[in-house]
Structure 1
């Protein structure tokens, strides 16, 4: 029997500035990653001037998938 592990993501989306502060990444680097599709963001929908929010939930799923564990979301 496999053990179940629960991972809680307290904030599924982070503003770009907060993500950069927490990770130590430069804002220009993160913006470049967003432009070329390496950084998932929340869609802006019909608000093109809305702030940029990094999709931390998607990054977490990607990281877990790369660890070769069975993932059920």
Structure 2
């Protein structure tokens, strides 16, 4: 089991903010959202801008890290 603490300053970010944080290209991020590799908040309306769920992404990263440590 991994023991660490990571502070997530905000639970949701826009695609542009995510690109700035990760250095990923916007087209790649949008493609990953479509493929389900990047988790977004459920949208109420189809035309709403996607908000990336940083807490869910952290949980996914933690789960993957724990699997690779064993």
| TM bracket (short chain) | 0.7 to 0.9
Matching of residues 29-68 of structure 1 within 5 Å: 29-45=28-44, 47-68=45-66
Listed as ranges, the gaps of 5+ residues in structure 1 are none
Structure 2 length normalisation: TM-score? Answer: 0.78
Paired with 2:4 and 2:41, the residues of 1 have a C-alpha distance of: 26
- 1:15-64 CA distance string (max 9 Å, x none): 1111001111000001111111111001112x222111111111100111
* Number of equivalenced pairs: 65
Structure 1 length normalisation: TM-score? Answer: 0.75
Instruction: Report the 3-state secondary structure (helix = DSSP H, G, I; strand = E; otherwise coil) of the residue aligned with 2:13.
Output: strand
Computing the radius of gyration from Cα coordinates, the structure with the larger value is 1
Higher helix share: 2
Listed as ranges, the gaps of 5+ residues in structure 2 are none
